Amino acid sequence: MTVVLGGGISGLSAAYYALNNPRIGPIIVLEASNRLGGWIRSHELSNGIIFEKGPRTIRCLGLAGKNTLNLLEDLQLTNKLIPIKSDHPSAKNRMIYSRNKLHLLPNSFLSIIKTNTLLNRSLASFLVKDLIAPMVRKDDESIYSFTTRRIGKDIADYLVSPMICGICAGDAQKISVNFLMKSLFEAEQKHGSITKGLLKQLFKKKNVNNKIEYKSNLAKRADTEKWVVWGLKGGLEELPRSLGNNIQSQGVDIQLNSHCEKLFFQSNHVELTINGKARKCSHVISSLPAKTLAKLLEEQHPDLAEQLRSIPMVTVAVVNLQFADNVLPMNAFGFLVPPGENLPILGVIFDSCIFPKDSSTVLTVMMGGAWFEKYFGKDPSDENLLNIAIKQVKEILNIKKEPIAFNVAILKDCIPQHVVGHAQRLNHIRDYISSRRIPLALCGSSYQGVGINDVILSAKEAVSEIVQHSNELKN
């Protein structure tokens, strides 16, 4: 029997992929809360408007993006899919709020070579800086340091820093470039500059006749129609909901309100303490946050627990707002705020532009992250967060009206921070588990990436690790 810890998107995905491997045996999913889905949570109002408390769109790029589209097709969710193509305003128009003004980011070749209002120079001018900047041998560094070195402090401050706020609500001066922007870092380390490295990669791809094989019609359609992101009718929670229904129909035992308090690995089985009671299984797939898993392991494996605890987390407040009419200055995905502006918000998403429902405006305000306690203290009230969100939105977007509906959610420790040294830390964790032949596989946002595509793919890889472990035991 294999136990999956956590009923979020990665845990459910792990159970789904495990069903295709008969050697894994019966599967149980243990979820500590009273619902499935983790941080993906869609709240539908009585008028049909949907407030997303977590993510609302998923990217299509790369193998991980195609893998998720394959999953979507397998779950027969194609009829609920809402594709956002490259010519959609929310795909083309993204903004940065700085110096009391919204700046539209370059979205065409002409806008790249023109002087940008945000930077006071063309974005293309970074090529010159990158080509003449000396290459520095490093194992890792912060994204902020790397960008400043190779491209310029202005791009680090006004483009990269707010982008990191949008990706992981984190501080670019702490996040690892060798993890989050590995291809750019390797381009410099191997070829001397980002530009040279990317050009060589592009030239190599053009000279390799590598025909893409699509496992699903949906992935092929996404490429052909140039999708950028996609969402689901009824909200993104449809994905974990469908996953849960699918695996239950195939015999997976999902147990809610089941809190794992301890793990102990014996020579031929695993002992778990669930709600005070002892249980046994052959393998464990953990989708829990690293620091939560650390507590379960620290008695037997204190060194592993220490490595897991060293992956920090941040808390994000999400405030959803609905205004009666269209109050947006332009159709766009939204805007991000550079940390240097010293404002208590990370950015605002224009939900009603991405997924129009009626004539009203729906916004999601992201707040806190790496700066949560700085602006809000340790235990802010919902009312305080709501008032701050409304004030910021009204001032920045010049909105005169009051919202007609709202929701406030504090997502405690919701996003892991892949800080400098993360890749090395992961290697230590993997080596520890592998060298001791511990029947434990890890998936979820603490390890391979914080995006939905990342955690789903990490679940697939975790199942492969369990299968490999089972084969080694039998041999």
CATH number at 390 reads: 3.90.660.20
**Three-state DSSP state, 164:** helix
Q: Which pLDDT does position 475 carry in this prediction?
A: 56
The C-alpha atoms of residue 245 and residue 29 are separated, in whole angstroms, by 13
The C-alpha atoms of residue 39 and residue 37 are separated, in whole angstroms, by 6
Residues 6+ apart with CB under 8 A from 196: 131, 187
Pick left, alpha or beta for residue 120 (phi over 0 → left; psi -120 to 50 → alpha; otherwise beta): left
Q: Which pLDDT does position 109 carry in this prediction?
A: 66
Residue type at 7 in one-letter notation: G
Measuring CA to CA, which residue among 126, 226, 229 is closest to residue 184?
A: 126
Domain end among 399, 416, 433: 416
Q: Which pLDDT does position 213 carry in this prediction?
A: 54
Beta strand residue intervals within 86-137, DSSP E: 94-98, 101-104, 115-116, 121-122
Assigned domain for 282 exists? yes
Q: Are 375 and 367 in contact (CB under 8 A)?
A: yes
Q: Are 296 and 284 in contact (CB under 8 A)?
A: no
CATH number at residue 167: 1.10.3110.10
Regions in the chain scoring below 50 on pLDDT: 207-211
Assigned domain for 244 exists? yes
437 and 399, same domain (yes or no): no
Assigned domain for 80 exists? no
Assigned domain for 221 exists? no
Query: DSSP of 419-440, one letter per residue?
Result: BTTHHHHHHHHHHHHHHTT-SE
Helix, strand, coil shares, percent, the chain, to 5: 40, 25, 35
Q: Which pLDDT does position 472 carry in this prediction?
A: 67
CATH number at residue 17: 3.50.50.60
Q: Which pLDDT does position 124 carry in this prediction?
A: 75
User: In terms of residue numbers, what domain contains 317?
Assistant: 313-416
342 and 273, same domain (yes or no): no
193 and 112, same domain (yes or no): yes
274 and 292, same domain (yes or no): yes
The C-alpha atoms of residue 176 and residue 420 are separated, in whole angstroms, by 4
Residues 6+ apart with CB under 8 A from 20: none
Domain end among 416, 436, 454: 416
187 and 94, same domain (yes or no): yes
Q: Which pLDDT does position 164 carry in this prediction?
A: 97
Residue identified by tokens 């949008």 is 166
Q: Which pLDDT does position 203 carry in this prediction?
A: 67
Structure tokens of 303? 């060194």
The C-alpha atoms of residue 442 and residue 115 are separated, in whole angstroms, by 46
CA geometry: angle at 414 spanning 422 and 24, to 5°? 75
306 and 423, same domain (yes or no): yes
Structure tokens of 159? 């483009």
Q: Model's pTM, two decimal places?
A: 0.94
Bridge-partner residues for 369, per DSSP?
A: 315
Q: Which pLDDT does position 208 carry in this prediction?
A: 43
The C-alpha atoms of residue 7 and residue 36 are separated, in whole angstroms, by 5
27 φ, ψ (degrees, to nearest 5): -120, 135
Q: Are 391 and 321 in contact (CB under 8 A)?
A: no
**Three-state DSSP state, 403:** coil
412 and 451, same domain (yes or no): no
Residue identified by tokens 């999956």 is 4
Domain end among 416, 440, 459: 416
The C-alpha atoms of residue 192 and residue 199 are separated, in whole angstroms, by 12
244 and 337, same domain (yes or no): no
The C-alpha atoms of residue 271 and residue 279 are separated, in whole angstroms, by 6
398 and 442, same domain (yes or no): no
Q: Are 382 and 389 in contact (CB under 8 A)?
A: no
Q: Are 18 and 47 in contact (CB under 8 A)?
A: no
Assigned domain for 58 exists? no
Assigned domain for 378 exists? yes
* Tally of structural domains, the chain: 3
Residues 6+ apart with CB under 8 A from 358: 47, 48, 49
Measuring CA to CA, which residue among 17, 20, 64, 66 is closest to residue 213?
A: 66
Tens of pLDDT, residue by residue over 344-384, are 999 999 999 999 988 999 999 999 999 999 999 999 999 99
Beta strand residue intervals within 182-310, DSSP E: 227-232, 253-255, 260-265, 270-274, 277-281, 283-286
Assigned domain for 33 exists? yes
Question: Which stretches within 250-328 are classed as H helix?
Answer: 290-297, 302-309
318 and 307, same domain (yes or no): no
- Distance of alpha carbon 193 from its chain centroid, rounded? 28
Q: Which pLDDT does position 210 carry in this prediction?
A: 46
Measuring CA to CA, which residue among 126, 89, 64, 142 is closest to residue 329?
A: 89
Residues 6+ apart with CB under 8 A from 309: 290, 291, 294
Q: Which pLDDT does position 244 carry in this prediction?
A: 98
407 and 429, same domain (yes or no): no
Assigned domain for 78 exists? no
The C-alpha atoms of residue 206 and residue 213 are separated, in whole angstroms, by 17
Q: How many CA atoms lie within 13 A of 463 on its CB side?
A: 23
From residue 460, give the alpha-carbon distance in Å to each of 11, 29, 61, 212, 307: 10, 15, 18, 21, 23
274 and 288, same domain (yes or no): yes
> Could you tell me the strand order of the sheet in which 260-265 lies?
260-265, 270-274, 277-281
Residue type at 52 in one-letter notation: E
Round the CA-based radius of gyration of the chain to a whole number and report it.
23
